[in-house]
Structure formats: C-alpha cells, structure tokens
Structure 1
Amino acid sequence: MQEVQHCKIFEGPEESRSLALLGDAVQEGLYRTIGKMISVAVVQGGLPIHFFSERLFSQISAVLPPKFTLEEVADRDIQNQLEKINTAGSVEEARAAISDFADTLRVMGAFTYIKNLEERDRVTQIALNFYLEDRLAQALSQLKEGLMTLGVLDEVVAHPEIFHTVFTESVVPLTSTDMVNLFTPIFSPVGSNRRRSENRTLAFWRDWLLEVEEGNVDNVKLEDILIFASGASKVPLAGFQEKPTITFLEPGLGRSLPTANTCTVSLNLPMCSTFNDFSENMALAIACAKTFGIA
C-alpha cells in the first residue's frame, strides 16, 4: 500500500478520491474477489466479460502490452501536465513544464534534469509507466490471484488469442451461421431412405434459421432457438460441456413438433415433407416454449 498512499499528493480532487478508493479496495481484497467472480462467470457461461482494456488484458495474459498513450490517463490535470512536457518544442520549455509538475513527477520517479528532447520523452514514458502500471501493481496482483480460480488464468496465459475476444470485445449478435456450426447432425447410414429425408430436413433447418435471422418468423429469434435447445440464451464462454447435436424425429406417430433435451443440448427436428410445414411447426413449438410454466 505504500505506493498508493504516497500518490495522494496528486493535486486533482478526482484523482485523490479514486486513489483513496483504490487503496480501500486493495486493503479489503476486493480485486481478488472480482477475479474469482470473473473466473466463475467464464467457466459457467455467465454474463459476458467484454470490459477489459487492451492494457489490462495484456497485464493478465502476459502478451506484449500496447504502447503507453496520454489518452489512457483518466485524470485531466495529470494528462494536461504530461501533454505540456510531451509537446514542448525546446529543452527550455520542457524543463519549465517539468519544474511546474515536479512534486508529482518525483512520486512517479520521473523527475530529472533533462539535457535534450529525447530525455523529455523518457520523462513522459516513466510517468505513464507509473500511472498505468506501477501504482496498480497490488490491485493487479489480487485480480490475477482471483483469476486463478478454476484454472482460468492458466488458460488465458496459454491461449490469449482465444480469450482476447472473451475479455475485450463487444458482444456479437448470434447469427444463423453460428447456429449451423454449433450443432452436429447425427445421420442414418448413407443411401438409406431415412438419410434422404434427414438431408432434406437439415436443408429446411438451415433455410429456416436464415428466415429467423432476417426477422421473417414472428415471435422467434435465434436466441429463442438456443434457449429451446439448451436452456441458455447464449453460448457459454467456454462452450457447452457436451457437443450440441441434431437428431431427427421419426415421421408420423404425431411427431410434427420439435423437441429438445437441454441436459445434453440435443435438438430433435421433425421430418416434414415441405418447408412450410417445417417452418410452422418449428415456430409454433419455440414460440410457445417461451411461455412454458407461466400462468
């Protein structure tokens, strides 16, 4: 906590308040708790993460961090002072800007007497390193400790290219292509009459997903289909425990509506003779399933 307490000489009231909150959170171990919560969310497919900055992700994944930029400094007073140093057109102008900001630069370990503009740039980089890295070291350490829950941090370090999407990118809407790729059809032997019916039904399924994606099916969205098949409105961050499958219901015997087993994520499609029949049966079952158990 020593570096956090020393930082309180920063002049900005907002910065002082945020540093005080940071110190309290570190003392209470809140970042460790947050890390644990994120780990459980990742493993169990809870709410999307998608709020890590590129720098924070690089800090937990050990990938090459982005270059420090002044835009990352939240405190406007500090940002403006560093901007004055960074844009100084002469050594004398840079020395004056450094002198005006001397107390804070000393805390950052960046205060020095510069002899040229290259040393001016080094002052700015040392200050940014302190602000964006060093002062947050304890909080980051706690966060990483929490992320070790259920082995999540080890997987992030081992597969940063996969988890980059999980932690940093905005939520991408579910598409018909996602649904097609998600389910593996289980077919009858090639050449059988049933196999031909299954191929036709699978073609109906893919065409129907496109109709749903384009908004041409009333009261049914792609998320509703996923809920019907799995009980989840989105694919878990780590994927489903079992590979989702499509099976085909025996035609006749009153089996005109689709069924599903959410435990095994198995969707059972009716084998209809026309696309219209298939579409109507799928829409009826999935639209009604949304109100199941509601009186």
Structure 2
Amino acid sequence: LASGYTGPIIREWKKAITDAIALHSAVWIIPMLQQVCDGLKLYSFHDLLTEHSETCQQLFVPGHLQKVDAEFLELAMTPIFSEEGSLRRHRECRIINFLQDFIQKLEDEGESADFITICKFFQWLTGQAHIPLIETQRKESKICIEFDHDCDARYGDHIICYPVINACAVSITFPTKHLGTYQEFQDIMSQVINNSKEFGRH
C-alpha cells in the first residue's frame, strides 16, 4: 500500500507489484535522498562520504557504537597540576586517585548502588554516552581536569561545593576543599551525577 499498489498479492501480479515499487522509488524516495545529498553538500560532507564511505558508514548504520570503559577514560584524563612538591599538588594527586578508583568501581560493578554506570558518568561529563565514532576523535579525546583551591575566597564560609563541568570543552573542575576522603568524593559525585538534569550550576 505504501508504494501505491492496491491489487492482489499473488505470483501472477509480480511485475505489477515491482513496477509500483520502482515508480514509488523514482517519484518519492529518490527526490528525498537527493534533498539529503544537497543538504550534505552545504558543509562538503557529501565529498567526505564519497571518499571515506567505509569509515562514515558507522555514522548511519546502528550497531557500531562502542561503550565507554575505564581504560578509555583513564587514558583521556589530562589533569592540570600545580607545582610539583606543593601542598596543592598533593591534594590534586589524591583527587585523581579518587577519580580513578571511582571509575574502576563503576566498571567492576556495572551499576552502582546509586544507579550510576560508567556510561552515565561519561554522558554527564561530555554529553554523550559512547566513545567518539571517528577514530581520529577517539585518539584525540581528552578530558581536562582542573582544581579549585579557592572556593572559600569566593563563597565565604560554606559546607559543600560540587564539581563544575564544561561539556563543550570536555573539562571538569574539582573543589579540593570538599574532597578530602574517598567517601566524600563518592558521595559528592553520586549527588551531582544523579541530580544534574540540565546544564547549569543551580
């Protein structure tokens, strides 16, 4: 029916059926595909598809998405440390160790008691729950990790601060004052991931 054929579906009418399907393709489907091609040409993506058809196939065919794992995350982490030997550097290294333990725990457990998975963590951090599709992007994937040592100077006396992420720049800033133990780190990460429903600090 979708192709416009309304006759009986029997062997004797095979040619009429195939002709109707061919006509439907020529009249409706091909013009729609041509419109898609015209849209792709706006950004020269059509030429890219032609030259690298096998590489780009995974962008259109389901089943090629690779799940995030601890190894990918740990290789992508790029911490910006303070001067070596300083107290700040010591606190920063401790937080990096907490983060690595947290990621490894998510992978080992599959899903934490707070319903956090490693994919959910990556989606919270970057906006996507899978490893980048294009190989060059996978190799160049970096998660910039920064540290905030001066929240008291900005906010005065306060009880808690949460990590601040920038999904576009793929970076995260940890408040060092509030992450003194692994339990504090785990509690804060669980709260912020489960309660972050939209972009923003509030």
| TM-score for the superposition, normalised by structure 1 | 0.47
Q: What secondary structure is seen at the aligned counterpart in 2 of 1:188?
A: coil
Residues in 2 aligned to 1:249 and 1:189: alpha-carbon distance in whole angstroms: 14
Contact 2:68 2:122 in 1 (8 A): no
Q: Aligned-pair distance for 1:206?
A: 2.0
Structure 2 counterparts to residues 124-139 of structure 1, below 5 A: none
Residues in 2 aligned to 1:150 and 1:185: alpha-carbon distance in whole angstroms: 34
Quick one: which of 226, 248, 258 aligns to 2:147? 248
* Equivalent residue letter for 1:152: F
Structure 2 counterparts to residues 93-112 of structure 1, below 5 A: none
Q: Aligned-pair distance for 1:176?
A: 3.0
> In the alignment, what sits opposite 1:287?
194
Residues in 1 aligned to 2:57 and 2:75: alpha-carbon distance in whole angstroms: 21
For the pair 1:266 / 2:159, whether they are aligned, the reply is: no
For the pair 1:22 / 2:34, whether they are aligned, the reply is: no
Residues in 1 aligned to 2:72 and 2:15: alpha-carbon distance in whole angstroms: 48
Number of aligned residues:
173
Q: What secondary structure is seen at the aligned counterpart in 1 of 2:67?
A: coil
* Equivalent residue letter for 2:59: V
> In the alignment, what sits opposite 2:6?
none
The change in CA–CA distance for 1:26 and 1:257 in structure 2 (over 3 A counts) is closer
The change in CA–CA distance for 1:32 and 1:18 in structure 2 (over 3 A counts) is same
> In the alignment, what sits opposite 1:275?
182
- Fraction of identical pairs, as percent: 23
Residues in 2 aligned to 1:243 and 1:292: alpha-carbon distance in whole angstroms: 20
* Equivalent residue letter for 2:147: F
Q: Whose strand fraction is larger, Structure 1's or Structure 2's?
A: 2
Contact 2:68 2:129 in 1 (8 A): no
Q: What secondary structure is seen at the aligned counterpart in 2 of 1:150?
A: coil
Contact 1:224 1:290 in 2 (8 A): no
Residues in 2 aligned to 1:182 and 1:21: alpha-carbon distance in whole angstroms: 49
Residues in 1 aligned to 2:68 and 2:163: alpha-carbon distance in whole angstroms: 21
Q: Aligned-pair distance for 1:17?
A: 3.5
The change in CA–CA distance for 1:158 and 1:16 in structure 2 (over 3 A counts) is closer
Q: What secondary structure is seen at the aligned counterpart in 2 of 1:245?
A: strand
The change in CA–CA distance for 1:23 and 1:267 in structure 2 (over 3 A counts) is same
Quick one: which of 63, 71, 90 aligns to 1:196? 90
Q: Whose helix fraction is larger, Structure 1's or Structure 2's?
A: 1
For the pair 1:224 / 2:123, whether they are aligned, the reply is: no
